[in-house]
Amino acid sequence: MAGLWYEELEEGMIFEHPLSRTITEADNVWFSCLTLNPQPLHIDFHKAAETDYGKPLVNSLFTLGLVIGMTVADTTLGTTVSNLGMTNTTFPAPVFHGDSIHTRTTVMSKRPSKSRARQGIVNFLHEGFNQDGVIVTICERSALMHFKPAADMG
């Protein structure tokens, strides 16, 4: 499915994204190592066993990337110029190997760009949930979006 153009996104729209994904041990270890994050809480089962959680936590930046990535096909695939920022990101519950994540997006606001013709700024709220419906991450994302091409306006 192609993403939506600026004009097709309306404030208050809610997307219950159909994709879900189970996070594996390999996902977590590889991501942590690829990003040079040596935190034992993510990559050392014995050290993680000594923590409050008793087992490794999934790297929160992997969780955030997964949650936002799951939204692309329904919202911004081929229609975004760039991400402008991510704010108010929280991780209210831990994510562990074996958790399955699904995502909801709400269009919070939008406005035409003041400096770029035929582009606008859309603010999304992304919420990630585990298999039990527990919210594991929240992020507000601002994206610069293309207007619908003039040929498609007819």
**Per-residue model confidence (pLDDT) at position 115:** 95
**Per-residue model confidence (pLDDT) at position 126:** 98
Q: Is the pLDDT of residue 21 over 60?
A: yes
**Per-residue model confidence (pLDDT) at position 154:** 55
Q: Tens digits of per-residue pLDDT, 45-85?
A: 999 999 999 999 999 999 999 999 999 999 999 999 999 99
Band the pLDDT of 2: cuts 50, 70, 90: confident
Band the pLDDT of 6: cuts 50, 70, 90: very high
| pTM: predicted TM-score of the whole model, two decimal places | 0.93
Segment holding 63, helix H or strand E: helix 60-69
Nearest to 105 by CA among 131, 73, 78: 73
Domain ranges of the chain: 6-152
Domain 6-152 has CATH 3.10.129.10: yes
**Per-residue model confidence (pLDDT) at position 146:** 96
Name the residue type at position 4. L
**Per-residue model confidence (pLDDT) at position 150:** 82
For the chain, give the mean pLDDT. 95
CB atoms within 10 A of CB 131: 12
Q: Tens digits of per-residue pLDDT, 83-108?
A: 999 999 999 999 999 999 999 999 99
Please list, residue by residue across 132-150, b when 16 or more beta carbons sit within 10 angstroms of its beta carbon and e when fewer do: eeeebbbbbbbbbbbbeee
Is 27:43 a contact under the CB 8 Å cutoff? Answer: no
In angstroms, the CA 98 to CA 95 distance is 9
Q: Tens digits of per-residue pLDDT, 111-143?
A: 999 999 999 999 999 999 999 999 999 999 999
